[in-house]
Amino acid sequence: MWLFTQYGFFSVVCARDLSGKTKGVDLNTFMVRARSRQHLESLQSRCAELSGFEIADTKDTDYRYRLVVPKTVWEQVASALTAEIDYGNFKSRAYETSGDKHYVNALHDVWEVMHRLQH
């Protein structure tokens, strides 16, 4: 799942099964990945449920920054993010919250690309 929030952009996927029991994924553990450490730090500041988890810096992966959390924790975070929506313009709120012009410019780029799908 790609998730664009007022705190940043995240890619949320099942973590790899490191137990060796399967060759797939761990359905009970999620990796919350980000291109910007600041995005994960902002999310941790907003969501106390994430405060105890260390941000991993993985220089050799496609998403450099990661949090590995139980699925139940992510469900609480996603619910809280949904409950706090009180704005009518997402990109404007993202700028108000983050002050990050690069992130908001990227949001405009994504909006434009996805707009092309509309018939």
Give the tens place of pLDDT for each residue, 52-101: 999 999 999 999 999 999 999 999 999 999 999 999 999 999 999 999 99
User: In this predicted model, what pLDDT tens digit does every residue of 25-42 receive, in sequence order?
Assistant: 999 999 999 999 999 999
Residue 108 domain flag? no
**Pair of tokens at residue 92:** 């404007």
- Is this prediction's pTM over 0.85? yes
Does residue 110 form part of some domain? Answer: no
Residue 72 lies in a domain: yes
- Whether 78 maps to a domain, the answer reads yes
Question: How is residue 67 written in tokens?
Answer: 């949090």
How far are the Cα atoms of 2, 37, 64, 110 from residue 58, in angstroms, in the given order?
Answer: 19, 11, 5, 25
49-62 confidence digits (pLDDT tens): 999 999 999 999 99
Q: Cα–Cα distance between 38 and 28 in angstroms, integer?
A: 26
Number of structural domains found in the chain: 1
Domain that holds residue 14: 2-86
Statement: residue 23 has pLDDT above 80:
no
